[in-house]
Amino acid sequence: MAAKGVVNEHSLVGKNGVSTQHDRNGLRKVQEFCIQNGKIQESRNGSTHHSKEKKRKTVESFEQVPLYTAVMTYLGFYLLMFLGWLNQLLFTPNVAREQNREGYVPLYNRFESFYLRYVYRRVRDCWNIPICSVPGAEVVLKDRITRDYGWTFEFTGTETKCLNLGSYNYLGFAETKGPCAEESAQAIRDFGCAQCSPCQELGTNPLIVELEKLTAEFLGVEDAIVFGMGFGTNALNLPSLLGPGCLVLSDEKNHASLILGLRLSGATIKVFKHNNMKNLEKVLKAAIVKGQPRSRRPWKKILIVVEGIYSMEGSIVKLPEILELKRKYKAYLYVDEAHCIGALGERGRGVVEYFGCNPYDVDILMGTFTKSFGSAGGYIAGSKKLIDYLRINSHAACYASAMSPPVAQQIFTSMSIIMGKDGTMEGLRRIRQLAYNTRYFRERLKKMGVIIYGNQDSPVVPLLVYMFSKIGAVVRTLKQRRIAVVGVGFPATPLMEGRIRICLSAAHTKEQLDAALETFEEIANTLGLRYSQQRRPTDPVLYGVLDKVD
């Protein structure tokens, strides 16, 4: 310890939260450290979060469609409608017909059934493809052919193993082997397959209680409640938080579950332009000034509903600006972190950690376990008061069946791995790999000259193809080349913006991504996908570099 009269300083670094002693020239300094995933974080006021928000430079791109492409897309749709009308006139569709219904009002919406039968049906083989294996980095698709252009399908009996760029498997926890799978199988032996009861009756078991505690610790808030279904979490909890007389500001591109929940609640909904803070402020101001619809009274509650990562755009919400607005106008904030929990941030804690904000500032944190944890279900996290209220008043807690034990155990194990509680660096490795994969893939695609939307850090990459026929062509050609992707068209996206959505994963290796990118390069040539009119970056793309090296 002492050598030649000089006292060496040494630090004893212990386990989480244990204070260490720092000897320096006789002065003892006691500091508390918290070690998780090998990263040492200072603890301040009992919480291990930086209260200073990082100034993050958002690099987002939403390039405009070239005019020629827009015109031809519309013309293509007109042609489709014309031929659909011709088909409808000349041939009877190959669908079930109702008997003895003369004079009755048709059961289905006319335009929807027309679109389904004469537009969607033509490329229907690109969707609903059955899979025969776990959707990890590679997935096995069951082949099927159609002899009558999409009305019926037959299985050929063969299966194709493809690189999986379509599943929400951000951290690669969709595996059949490994600690998660083993512990989930053990949970079935311990607790059975189903709870057979809602949470408020006989549905809570020790697994769910532990999971809720772990979720709250993961997010850095007081308490959390979990539900069996992610969509149901949104749709069934918003009605219990809001009612008529409340004001909701919801982003243009919010998910269907949020829209359903908001409509069910009966609150007044005002929509603001996607990720546009000026428009949000304008709409908020106007709505507050006007008051409730007929009585002009002040609103009972104001809630801003946004998502962390928008899955169709790949854009990340501007959280610091929204928090400022929220404080200024005394509104509550609801962030749906379905796609970013586990995928964003240095330790995978979602969009709040990505921006360095305090999770106590966001009033209601919602997320799903489907994407990064390889499981199913959703959670809501926040202050204990909020969660106690939801435990009693939420429709999902009262009527929906509780989360099944193996599902809960899978989430518990994967979350412990991400947090580093299993003692390995596996969680951090997965988060880093996802970050490297995301940057690398996006940079390479931009270099190729295709238009991709979204923030450079979002693992959801929408590749714009615009035309309806190209969605079908790209998905089919990629499937032939052993890559499975998801094509998205109208009504999920605007009419003119057909896209191919690629979801990256920590399970993908650089070699797999390189092979996929080569295929994309060939397809961009043969099918004509290079729409970008901006200058293409010429510097070589490095793997494993997260910040631009000057």
By CB under 8 A, name the binding residues for other proteins.
72, 75-77, 79-80, 83, 87, 122-123, 149, 467-470, 472-473, 526-528
What does the alpha-carbon distance between residue 81 and residue 114 come to, in Å, rounded to a whole number? 9
Looking at the Cβ atoms of 442 and 470, the one nearer to other proteins is 470
DSSP strand pairing (60-61 vs 454-455) = antiparallel
CA–chain centroid gap for 14, Å, is 36
Looking at the Cβ atoms of 82 and 399, the one nearer to other proteins is 82
Specify whether the CB–CB gap between 89 and 118 falls below 8 A: no
State in angstroms the smallest separation of the CB of 469 from other proteins.
4
Buried b (16+ CB within 10 A) or exposed e, 508-522: beeebbeebbebbbe
What does the alpha-carbon distance between residue 435 and residue 208 come to, in Å, rounded to a whole number? 30
Looking at the Cβ atoms of 18 and 86, the one nearer to other proteins is 86
Specify whether the CB–CB gap between 142 and 155 falls below 8 A: yes
State in angstroms the smallest separation of the CB of 529 from other proteins.
10
State in angstroms the smallest separation of the CB of 464 from other proteins.
14
State in angstroms the smallest separation of the CB of 444 from other proteins.
24
Looking at the Cβ atoms of 387 and 465, the one nearer to other proteins is 465
Looking at the Cβ atoms of 405 and 498, the one nearer to other proteins is 498
State in angstroms the smallest separation of the CB of 327 from other proteins.
50
Residue 217: CB partners within 8 Å, gap ≥ 6? Answer: 419
What's the N-to-C CA distance of the chain in angstroms? 43
State in angstroms the smallest separation of the CB of 75 from other proteins.
7
Looking at the Cβ atoms of 80 and 131, the one nearer to other proteins is 80
State in angstroms the smallest separation of the CB of 94 from other proteins.
13
Looking at the Cβ atoms of 405 and 489, the one nearer to other proteins is 489
Concatenated DSSP letters of 376-436: --EEEEE-HHHHHHHHHH-HHHHHSBPPPHHHHHHHHHHHHHHHTTTSSSHHHHHHHHHHH
Q: How many CA atoms lie within 13 A of 4 on its CB side?
A: 0
Looking at the Cβ atoms of 89 and 289, the one nearer to other proteins is 89
State in angstroms the smallest separation of the CB of 461 from other proteins.
22
Q: How many CA atoms lie within 13 A of 147 on its CB side?
A: 3
State in angstroms the smallest separation of the CB of 536 from other proteins.
21
Q: What are the structure tokens assigned to 465, written together?
A: 């193809």
Looking at the Cβ atoms of 88 and 197, the one nearer to other proteins is 88
Residue 520: CB partners within 8 Å, gap ≥ 6? Answer: 445, 448, 450
Q: Is 180 helix (H, G, I), strand (E, B) or coil?
A: helix
Q: Is 521 helix (H, G, I), strand (E, B) or coil?
A: helix
Closest-CA residue to 380 (of 199, 219, 197): 219
β-pair partners for 225: 380
State in angstroms the smallest separation of the CB of 539 from other proteins.
31
Closest-CA residue to 496 (of 143, 72, 140): 72
Q: Is 92 helix (H, G, I), strand (E, B) or coil?
A: coil
Question: Residue 67 — φ and ψ, nearest 5°?
Answer: -60, -40
User: Rounded to the nearest 10 degrees, what angle do helices 426-448 and 510-527 cross at?
Assistant: 20
State in angstroms the smallest separation of the CB of 132 from other proteins.
27
Q: Where are the alpha helices (DSSP H) in 91-220?
A: 110-118, 179-191, 206-219
Looking at the Cβ atoms of 241 and 467, the one nearer to other proteins is 467
Looking at the Cβ atoms of 126 and 431, the one nearer to other proteins is 126
Looking at the Cβ atoms of 114 and 272, the one nearer to other proteins is 114
State in angstroms the smallest separation of the CB of 136 from other proteins.
32
User: Rounded to the nearest 10 degrees, what angle do helices 405-419 and 206-219 cross at?
Assistant: 30
State in angstroms the smallest separation of the CB of 72 from other proteins.
5
Looking at the Cβ atoms of 75 and 202, the one nearer to other proteins is 75
The vertex-101 CA angle with 96 and 105, nearest 5°, equals 100
